[in-house]
Chains A and B, each alone.
Chain A
Amino acid sequence: MSDGKYFSTTKKGEIHEFKEELRSLEKSKKKDGVKKVIAAMTVGKDVAMLFPDMMNCMQTEDLELKKLVYLYCQNYAKTQPDLAIMAVNTFVKDSQDPNPLIRALAVRTMGCIRVDKITEYLCDPLQRCLKDDDPYVRKTAAICVAKLFDINPELVDDRGFLDQLRDLLSDANPMVVANALAALQEIQEISGKDMLQLSQNTLMKLLTALNDCTEWGQVFILDALAGFETRDPRDAEKIAERVLPRMQHVNSAVVLSAIKVILRMMDICQSADLVAAWSKKMAPPLVTLLGAEPEVQYVALRNINLVVQKRPSILANEVKVFFCKYNDPIYVKMEKLEIMIKLASDKNIDQVLLEFKEYAQEVDVDFVRKAVRAIGRCAVSIERAAEKCINVLLELIKAKVNYVVQEGVIVIKDIFRRYPNRYENIIATLCENLDSLDEPEAKASMVWIIGEYAERIDNADELLETFLDTFPEENSMVQLQLLTSTVKLFLKKPTESAQKMISLVLSCATNETDNPDLRDRAFIYWRLLSTDPEAAKDVVLAQKPVITDDVGNLDQGLLDQLLRQVATLSSVYHKPPEMFVSRQRLAVQKADELQDHQFEEEEVPGAASTSTAAVAAAATSAAPQVDLLNLDSGGPEAAAAPPRAVGGIDDLLGGLDISSTSSSTPAPQLPVLLSDPSKGLVIQGKILRQGGTVTYALVIINSSASPLDGLMLQTNRSTFGLGPVNVVLQVPSIAPSSTATALVPMLYDSTKILPGAASSKLEVAMKTNQAGVLYFADAVPLASLLEESGGIEGQAFLNAWKTLPPETPQRLQLTVFNIESAKQRLQAANLFVLAHRPVPGTSQEALYLTGKVGGINVQVLVEVRLTVGVPGMDVSFKSERTDLATMTFEAVAQILA
């Protein structure tokens, strides 16, 4: 019989059946039972109540059975600390078994049980095992020190385990060395202190061990070498010499870590010849990485992107290997494209352009757009290629594929800005495609071109007029550009029709819009034109600074920081580690006790979302946005390169600032629900209870360049059927860089109740006129749903307690110091205390609580047993909806925390 069958049963009396089998005297039946329990555990069923029965199976000669029970033990010891103590004797006994496999198994498992009480018993066996004759036991013990440090750092220090670990770095067995090193690195990570304390002596030992280690061990050693602080070029040469051959390894992790070490040593080494020789050796392994699986390729490409920025010569002749393959996944293609742009030079531009042109005719829209932008960026950065690039772009535009045309117009605008007065003869071709432009950025670019070259386009006024018809409906980006271009047209060709247009636009922009940027700019132009038209010319038609292509190039400081992080996640996200690694490790707590929003609070606000977006953001080029911001102003203020063009105008006008929303108000600390940098929108929020109604507290931060309005909120079906009372949010238009808060009253809608197991999940959609519909998910805290009228009579409680299905128990890691204030807090949160009495025969006190969950109108009954001042409390839950247990436990924990 195969083991697959263990997954199949889902009957009700399952637990009972398991128990029977575990108690069976027949060995095979017992083993079967254990396997079934493990299968249930894997699929996420709660089999914690079988702990005593499983423990009884632990004392066995059968190693296979023992391993399975140990596996179970690691999973559930935390929830059953008292019972876990029972297992300690077996562990200690096993750690002295003549069989090294069993000794190691015992130490390994013990370390995985994160129960304080057990750690005391762990020390002696660990001490012994660190000095065991068998390397297998020693290497397991080395890792165990890291486990212990995570639970109780002081203990590790007191017992001198750290020194023992450092001694193991000179062990004869390379596996032991590698694990000791890994353990020290892990401890260093947790404590934030230098635990390795690498000396010249250990350095030499590590270099020797490098060749004999497993591939994983080699990575640990290489990472340690990269962190070795030295200023001595001789050290650098010594290290590099040993590390260089590692770049030939089959394992890409070894290759990348070796490259990191070499890059570090290049900074220290003073001989230019050596650096050149090392660079030369670095190219083939980097190229070889591109033959690996796409996943490995992706990581390699993100790293190469950094290497190329710092040392472009390494891969200068290899641009061909970055050509996209037909079947590359899109994430690989996008990265290759980025590197091709970086490697493009006078020498290879013809080849590269030919490739870009091919890509621009492929099927995937995002990829095509990026390819068109790539052509534009090459034109901007390589002067001699500009003309060729323009020709390719024109050819592409002539094919009249809608999104190619739009993208083409955007990049040609950049090329005009880079090489003014050189390629204006192509404007006619662009003008043929006016009708197909429907994206704001493309439209704004075209309008800018018409305004900038109004004197050379015979029918510039007619062209602009076609856009003006729809002025009120346009996106603000286009509106601003139309305004500026009309002024330019008027100043250059003050014809009658231009006059008519300018008065139309100015009146539209000052009277009929609620966008302060647009209004401000219109007023400026108005005043300028009416007081001194010559000054207006000086301002609006001033010489603009020439742009450069710096998209995707990182700031020098950040680049150097990231280069030290080659071969880590940091190098994939292109963000320093502090941005996505929370300093405070949460390791001691068991994961399932953590609540989602706790995580968010512990992190730097926005860090989580930025790192998520990092990958996506890297894929979309931000160039044109920046450019547009600069050219928006169309005046001399661009020369001063203000961070935001609009801000510059505000300064100019002083008193005319009508925008009322204050910029950069510090946002209240609510969990971030959604952060979409591409749309410039961050939403924070939390569901809470206010004045007897469920309320959604929301903070909306607008970081885009245009105001946000038309906010609407809707929810999906959920367990409690929560929905907003009013779909339209009572929030005025949110100006750029400002924040709005809203308290949205919610109601229960029985049609929105989602049947099935209760879940706190609430899917929310937010709509704005500018950013469209955005989706995010939130968790409804049960505490916000408890009704004020939720109290019941004592007798009713007793009856209910007897008739309801069996209770669900849970142990919470909480300490109550003052039971009266705890009762008050529970009461205030609508968990009504019915009774409070001591538990006979113990120091514990029991609280009986009840509350009513709104929406589904279910009464929940809770018993809490605790000892004042002692950590930990036992909570039991009863209700007709047993699936509410987890949420209720969370609520109790939240109220009492």
Chain B
Amino acid sequence: MAQPLVKKDDDQEGEEYSPFLGIEKGAVLQEARVFNDPQLDARRCSQVLTKLLYLLNQGENFTKIEATEVFFAVTKLFQSKDNGLRRMVYLMIKEISPSADEVIIVTSSLMKDMNSKTYMYRANAIRVLCRITDGTLLTQIERYLKQAIVDKNPVIASAALVSGIHLLQTNPEIVKRWTNEVQEAIQSRAAALVQFHALALLHQIRQSDRLAVSKLVTFGLTKKGSVRSPLAQCLLIRYTSQVIRDSSMNSQTGERPLFDFLEACLQHKADMVIVEAARAITEFSGVTSRELTPAITVLQLFLSSSKPVLRFAAVRTLNKVAMTHPLAFTNCNIDMESLISDQNRSIATLAITTLFNTGNESSVDRLMKQKISNFMADIADEFKIVVVDAIRSLCLKFPLKHRSLMNLLSNILREEGGFEYKKAIIDSIVILIRDIPEAKETGLFQLCEFIEDCEFTYLSTQVLHFLGNEGHKTSNPSKYIRYIYNRVILENATVRAAAVSTLAKFGSMVESLKPRIFVLLKRCLFDSDDEVRDRATLYLNMLGWDASVGETDKGVKEFLFGALDVPLVNLEASLRSYEPSEEPFNLSAVPKQVKSQPLTDKKTPSKKPTSPVDAYEKLLSSMPPEFSSFGQLFKSSAPVELTEAETEYAVNVVKHIFSGHIVFQYNCTNTIPEQLLENVLVVVDASETKEFAQVTSKPLKTLPDDSPGQTFVAFMKPDGLPATGRFSNLLKFIVKEVDPATGEAKEEEEGVEDEYQLEDLQVVAADYMLKVSVLNFENAWESIGPACERIDEYGLGVRESLAEAVTAVINILGMQPCEGTDVVPNNARSHTCLLSGVFIGNVKVLARLSFGIDGPKQVAMKLAVRSEEEAISDAIHEIVANG
């Protein structure tokens, strides 16, 4: 009896002490000195190398000096003939990846190994060399690598081929010269994996050449080119389906043998190949149901495979099939349902989402009985979100089932979960409330319950805001008040402030509740937080608590709860740059256009980003007084290039639009280091345009190389009107030679006058339109009303596609596409695009464009414009008519 006990003790001791216990970098670096011993102890050296590897794998950082020392010491180990140690050395060099100036130390040893008679030295040396090499060394060893690719030893061939795949990223021109050798390797009978690597490399070399890929595939289907490894066969299937997809011929002719190959692969002995082939077949857009059936049948069989990976692969593929060919998928429903209880949660998640996406009205109830909420408790948040999204789409598809589906959402909302997950559920409930009117009361009640016990401030405030918008429209708004006021009592300051706003909104919208809301708001006047007190004071005063209770003024409602109509980013930027002074902050001065990031140098990300609108405004306000008298900047265009890339002088222009003026800001860059430019000015010829008159210009004093500078030219134009025209530009300057020693212009140098022709610049109607999006187009459309609506129809002629026509019109108008309507589905015959913007003079404009395309690709368009002024609606039509 004593014996097993002793053994157990031994075991436990073994468990406790790791061979790396207490390992310390400094000590290991000391130990690495054994690499310098004249009599190398291979075993000891291997142990030290293992320790170094362990440290590297634990994320220990070696300083540059430490890494260099280790590297130099390791190179000494090339003297040892011990195989195990040599293998370790190869790995270690790859792990430390020496810097370019150190590589030279080992290259000769490695090149020697690469031609060694010991096969294994050769394979490993190739891998290490390719890992640490640069272009110049590569040309030296290229000859050996080409030989290695066709070497009879599969280890050497594979090492060279895989190296080729990596080197293709850095030195494509060299690797592309190896095509013949790689082709030979594909026919290699030696090892299945060599074929796999060769096929992958050859495809990568030729992937941009469709014909070559097609030849590669055709060759792969011949007996000579047939591949043995299932991995290689999978590659071949992928390339084949790519070729079939690329060729636009129908299945009657050219690629039939290719399709036959895919069908034959469904009978392959390797599961991996069968799944790949089935996947390829199901992914073709024009596949017939006769072609689809065998593929779906094999996938269906895999659904009940004992191997989880196969079940996953099958369910993942069928999930996609369910979207594209719902009818063909119907047979799999029962098998799929049995996967809901799969041990592997990812498989179950995919099965559930697939069933949700394909389910019909009658299957919803059955699915609900599957205890999905139990299942949800077992999976990670990332996967739960996928299920929540599926529930939402199912509910939108079958609004009649909203009761059971929203119950499910409400149940899972009560379970544990992280922020993203809870947010996904809240977002879903909000969308369902918006889209299914019958779901509103239930949904709002669920949200109220949620905020009673919500740990996320952000979500609580979002829900409160939403309650404020929707709650007062219900049959009995008073029932929500309790939940909202509870927040004032129980929550943190941010949530309390949001609750105060929501209460006030109820008060302003529902007259009967007003006196009671005043009582609650008055209690908030004594809150510990100043924001809460301030809000309560504001609302009480604005809603008139001290006056006799009457209907709240529309202006007050607009002031308190109306939209600001400016992007919050811009508002924030303007508020930050506002300096307290006598002059109050002017909301109408906040730029309305959301600008993308300017074309700044990407190499200096550390610089604090400033809004481009802001930057331009500051820039212009620092200009001569004439510029600042132009009034408020309406819009700045994106930079338009006036020179081709890589010319001596690079110039682009930004158009700044004011009500009665336009300023061209020419951004000039001098790329010649030997030159300094002075008095740089753009001479603008506006003779082709009658509506513009030049008023002033500001030349650039000096322009040294590679430090961009700006010169400006300003024109007067008819006030508030969208004048257009073409301007020709000539860059004039004085060139001075630069002393290379000092980097400054030579003193005696007077300079030579020179000029440089730039491309013409156009001012178009879109320059007068700000891209301003609206949250809800339909609401905005209704609120502008039909008073100033103008509708007309246009023929756009023959177009490449509907998408191209839509993009062209959007560009002509320069308006913001709303609700993603700028994206035209493939093969669509008609499309509606919604645009919004603000036209010069700060007039809101909305446009609804209906496009249709016929057989010979003639595109017709109906344009309905609504704006606040008739003249502007007409102007928009004029822009389209002239465009």
Do A and B come from the same complex? no
Interface residues, chain A, CB within 8 Å of chain B? none
Interface residues, chain B, CB within 8 Å of chain A? none
